[in-house]
Structure 1
Amino acid sequence: MNQKNFEVVIIGGSYSGLSAAMSLGRSLRQVLVIDSGLPCNRQTPHSHNFITHDGETPAAISAKARLQVGSYKTVHFYEGLAIEAVKKQNGFEIKTESGELFTSKKLLFATGVKDLFPKIKGFEECWGISVLHCPYCHGYEVKNEKTAIVANGEMGFEYAKLISNWTKNLQLCTNGKSQLNSEQTQILKNHGISILEEEIVSFEHTSAYISNIVFKNGEKIPVKAVYSRPAFEQHCPLPQILGCVISEQGFIKVDFVHKTTVPGIYASGDATTQMRSVALAVSSGSVAGAAINKELIDEDF
């Protein structure tokens, strides 16, 4: 790639980054999308709750999006990892793992988050396939099935309430001593949701489709699906290095048009919200792209 200077560099080329690139490309902006090719849902077999794409594979949606975005001649792609970003007088300088340097007036992070899986054998292999995070994305496909939730405390209680909309055949596994209070415990019991406090050792599965939860005491319970929200960290450390404020929940803090707390830097997609879905990532990228274009217009007019 001969071109080194851009109006906008987008770090992260999945749904949110591509959506922002389309907004900016259609706004006649010179845009570079830097992507390392590791979307968080890469092993999920089907994407749901996104009209016109319901049931498609995440990879198919991304491939179609990239093809469409690539038709705009002002949008360029670089396959690689951004490892450094520095604020300059007139914008930013970004360095890749292979040593390439690019500059831009504005910077958008659409870098997502990295899930930190618990030490449960089989958890990672089943993630996104039969171990699920979002009932709106996957709940319909396992409706009324024997289901477990792996969570504790307030999250466990609220998660159990939520998932009970899709199935009444439900158990809450706290993976250790329950941190629910007595009122929460009674409410769940009144709704037929049992609480299992034994430590989990593994998930038995066939080709990532879970069949049993195995506990430390040797007991097993058969399940068809597990819901869990594992801990996470920002997939890319650069926003924090540049001074962007990270919320107590671990997300990049942005306003309603996805501006971060650092002038000239925007963020969109999973890195900014607990509402993780393809549809919402696309929406946030579109908003961020339009906001960046408007800021460039205001500065030049």
Structure 2
Amino acid sequence: MRASRILLFVALGLLALFFLTPLYVMLATSLKSMDELREGSLLALPQAPGFAAWAKAWSSACTGTDCGGLQPFFANSMLMVVPAVVISTALGALNGYVLSKWRFRGSELLFALMLFGVFMPMQVVLLPMSQVLGWLGMASSIGGLILVHVIAGLPGTTLFFRNYYAGLPDELVRAAKLDGAGFWQIFWRIVLPLSTPILVVTLIWQFTNIWNDFLYGVVFSGADSKPITVGLNNLANTSSSVKEYNVDMAAALIAALPTLIVYVLAGKYFVRGLTAGAVKG
């Protein structure tokens, strides 16, 4: 190997070590007891690793006045994330299909207006969205959070699919029309089977955004519908006689675990989807 390549690998290894150090500290801290944390070094390996802090963070840690751990918040996030991701992705695929292959008068203007939603600050929609949820009777519910995230994610998913479908040959749609295929037949049998890369990108993107969201979760949720991010914040800010850093680190890892798993299992497909045209057009 040439010296330049060796230096490159060394530099990449040092950078990876630098960025993974906080994750190592969190994991090591979560596996230590409080006595070991007081007596040992922050970077030291656990002498007697255990999952007592994980068990407490999951089932018995106090989040305000409730001491039921993160389990109910985790369940709320799963009930919210799965339908919100599926619905916003499906609607984005339909919007992208229409705006790229079934253009109509004013479609470009409509797409440009939808793009404002990608760059609009989330704080701008808090008051009007609260009023809409109140009118619909969906305030402080998981259903209301699903609706909020679907609407907030629709501009981004539309942008992804529209730009991806713009790169597909128009001749495919024209040939299908000549063979008598209609709108839905072309979408299901031709366009959707070619959409695997952008589907993976959009699903990962939406899952990460919705799972990690805190602002909408704290504003639009009720006592029984708070997501995992709100539960983690409440747990970390709950005052007690002794600050249990191992429980806090275990709770943070529990909250981050789904997104970590998604990126570890599907990260390479995410990169492939981006290079396949997710940000083109």
TM-score, normalization by structure 2:
0.26
Q: Which has the larger radius of gyration?
A: 2
Higher relative contact order (CA 8 A, sep 6+): 2
Higher share in strand: 1
Higher share in helix: 2
